[in-house]
Structure formats: structure tokens, C-alpha cells
Amino acid sequence: MMGATHRLPICCRQSINAIDAVHPLTSTFGVFPPSVVLADASMTITTAAGYDHAATVSLVGTALQNYINSLPLGTPLAWSRLTQVAYDASLSVTSVSAVRLNGDTADIATTHQQVVKAGTVSVA
């Protein structure tokens, strides 16, 4: 395992060094980076009168990206949660519709070795 560490992310190399320092001499171990599952999200929002729609779209898009990218390893992404994130992003959001996650209206399931990260996020 130690011969291939130069290709691993720094966090994996640090984990290998920490485990290698304490594991029993005759045992073996493996450290593997997570598999990334991309989440493409899209939705349409309605903005309250008197608010800048473009600015609100930007706020919602950033909030969606931040939420998706903050999910820990092994945590699924619930399709219905995207609507809540949009409403929480700004008080000016009055309606959320046409919510899609990877082109569908379904959750993204993960295994304990996968992490969900934001792909293309589109808010209109």
C-alpha cells in the first residue's frame, strides 16, 4: 500500500501514516478515497415583489451548492430537501417549482464509501 500513496489525496496519505504508525506488524490495511456522486440540481423560483430576482437566484444557487457539498461521507441527498434549502436561502423566495435532481424527482442514495458533490446547479 505504501508504494502507491503518491497518487492519493493528502487526507488519505495522512490516514495511512497514522494507521501505519500503530497497526500490528503482521496485519494489513487499506485506505481508499471516497467515490464522488455528482448531483445536478435545477429548479424555478418565484421572487416576492420588490426583490431583485437575479440576486435571489444567485443566493439560492449558492445555498444549494453549499448544502450539497457539505454532506458528509455516506449521506444521501434528499430531493425534497432542495426545496427547503431554496426557501431558507432568502425570505424573498415565495415559490419553488420544477425541482429536479439529476433530471429526476428522486433522492440520490449513497453507500458508506460515496460522497455527494454538486455538479451543475441551475436556478431560474
Site of grid cell 449513497: 110
Q: What pTM was computed for the model?
A: 0.79
Element holding 94 (H helix, E strand): strand 93-101
| DSSP structural state of residue 104 | B
SS3 label, residue 119 = strand
Give me the tens of pLDDT residue by residue for the chain, a chain 124 residues long. 445 555 666 666 777 778 777 877 788 777 777 899 999 999 999 999 999 999 999 999 999 999 999 999 999 999 999 999 999 999 999 999 999 999 999 999 999 999 999 999 999 9
